[in-house]
Chains A and B, each alone.
Chain A
Amino acid sequence: MSTAAHTLAPLAYVLQLADTALVLGQRNAEWCGHGPALEEDIALANNSLDLIGQARMLYSLAALQAGPQASEDSLAYWRGPEAFRNYTMVELPHHGPMAPSARQDRDFATTMVRNFLFSNLMVGVWAQLEPSPDAQLAAIAAKAIKETRYHLRHAHDWVVRMGDGTDTSHARAQAALDHLMPYTQEFWRPSAAEQSAMDFGIGLDLGALQAPWQQQLTATLDLAQLQASPATGFVSGGKNGIHSEHLSYLLGDMQSLARAHPQAVW
Chain B
Amino acid sequence: MNPIASLQPVHKGSAIDPHKVPQPHQAQTDATAEAIWAVLSPLTDPEIPVVSLRDMGILRDVRRVGSQWQVVITPTYSGCPAMGQIEDDVRQALLDSGHNAQVVTQLAPAWTTDWMTAQAHDQLRAYGIAPPCASATATDQHSLRFVRALAPTSVACPRCASTQTTEVSHFGSTACKALFKCLACLEPFDHFKPH
Contact = CB atoms under 8 A, between A and B. Distances in A.
Interface of A: 1-2, 6, 8, 39-40, 42-43, 46-54, 56-57, 60-61, 63-64, 71-72, 123-124, 127, 135-136, 138-140, 142-144, 146-147, 149-150, 152-154, 156-157, 212, 215-216, 219
Contacts, number: 125
Interface string B1-41: 11111010111001110110000000000000000000000
Contacts of B80: 49, 53
21 contacts: A1-B1, A1-B5, A39-B169, A40-B169, A43-B170, A50-B78, A52-B79, A53-B75, A53-B77, A56-B14, A60-B9, A60-B10, A127-B144, A139-B18, A139-B110, A140-B78, A147-B78, A153-B146, A154-B171, A157-B170, A212-B144
Interface of B: 1-5, 7, 9-11, 14-16, 18-19, 75, 77-81, 107-111, 137, 140, 144-147, 150, 168-175, 179, 193, 195
Nearest to B1: A1
B3 A72 contact: no
A127 B142 CA distance: 9
A117 to B, nearest CB: 14
Contact of B2 (A6, A42, A144, A157): A6
Given A6-B3, A71-B11, A142-B110, A149 B171 contact: no
A50 B147 CA distance: 23
Contacts of B3: 6, 8
Contacts of B171: 39, 42-43, 46-47, 154
Chain A at the B interface: SS class: helix
A46 B79 CA distance: 9
B16 A57 contact: yes
A187 B190 CA distance: 37
Nearest to B176: A46
